[in-house]
Amino acid sequence: MINKNSKWHVAIHNSTPYYITFNQIQINTEKTKGSVDLSPQKSMIAPNSDIEYPITAKNEEIKSGINFSIINDFGGNSSYTAKLAE
């Protein structure tokens, strides 16, 4: 996570040779709790590239850490959890 202009962002690195399309990203850490507003233009990350998303604060109950889902090759959602490198 990165703090830019008093707003938290999550930085993501795609180290794979594949495009990844996010369906949902939710973050719950000691520093911030919220989600990423994904528009169609910003939901895909190219192979071997980086992207930063601003985090929109939310009060809804979400699991601790980072929870995200991607659109898989069959058009369905695959859900994952990960730890953030802060």
What letter does residue 79 receive in the DSSP assignment? E
Quick: pLDDT tens for 45-64: 999 999 999 998 876 666 77
Range(s) of the domain holding residue 44: 2-74
Q: What are the angstrom distances between the C-alpha of 52 and each of 4, 45, 75?
A: 11, 10, 24
* Full 3-state SS string of 39-62: CCCCCEECCCEEEEEECEECCCCC
Q: Domain total for the chain?
A: 1
Across all residues in the chain, what is the average pLDDT? 86
Write down the pLDDT at residue 62: 67
Look at residue 80 and tell me if it is in a domain.
no
Q: Could you tell me if residue 45 is inside a domain? A: yes
Q: What is the pLDDT of residues 31-50, one digit of tens each?
A: 788 899 888 778 999 999 99
- DSSP string over 19-37: -EEEEEEEEE-SS-EEE--
In this structure, is residue 6 part of a structural domain?
Answer: yes
CATH code of the domain containing 15: 2.60.40.10
